Amino acid sequence: MRFRKLKKQSKTKSQNSQKNKNNVLYARNVDRIKSFITDMFMIYTPILYLITYVVMDGKDDFQASTMGPLVAVVLYGLISSILLYKFGQTPGNKAYDMKVVDAKTFKNITFFQALLRFVSFLLSATFLLGLFIGFYRKDRKSLHDLLSNTAVIVVNN
């Protein structure tokens, strides 16, 4: 095959892939941060309250315990993973018209992907570097999105 034909074929393939990528609008980092804060108030805070005052005897017992915060984080991770698996959105994502999808197919993610995304988010947040990667990428993917092969896109409701 001649070089000219190969070049033309690769050019049309790259244009087709660009068209598919251009139809997707990735969520802004500011909206992702707002969504996270909303989720913390709507999901994590009630969990902390229930563990502190219903399961334990109050804030002193909760602060002295190492198991209480661990159980709260695990419950938050499970709840957010289930919501992402079933609906593709947490309450914060829904409030800001965002959805977490598979990066290749743009369909709902699996439960394993959602759980991997949460665990890798904890690691990213621990070192902070993984969270800042999204500010320097065109597709705005952070480390936890790259590791779990997910993308946060804007949904027009």
The structure's pTM equals 0.81
Task: Let me know if residue 6 belongs to a domain.
Answer: no
What is the rounded (10 degree) CA torsion for 12, 15, 21, 23?
Answer: -110
Among 88, 91, 101, 84, smallest CA distance to 139 is for 101
- Residue 20 has a pLDDT of 47
Which pLDDT score, from 0 to 100, does residue 16 have? 45
Task: Quote the pLDDT of residue 41.
Answer: 96
- Whether residue 40 is contained in a domain is answered as yes
Task: Examine the pLDDT at 124 and tell me if it is beyond 70.
Answer: yes
Domain annotation covers residue 11 = no
Number of structural domains the chain divides into: 1
Q: Which domain holds residue 150?
A: 25-154
> Which of these ranges, 15-29, 39-53, 81-95, has the smallest mean pLDDT?
15-29
Q: What is the pLDDT of residue 87?
A: 95
For the CA atoms of the chain, what is the radius of gyration?
Answer: 20
- Mean confidence (pLDDT) of the chain: 88
Tell whether 13 is covered by a domain: no
From residue 132, alpha-carbon distances to 29, 50, 64, 127 in Å are: 10, 33, 33, 10
pLDDT band at residue 95 under the 50/70/90 scheme: very high
pLDDT value for 17: 42
Mean pLDDT of 88-107: 94
Percent of the chain with pLDDT over 70: 85
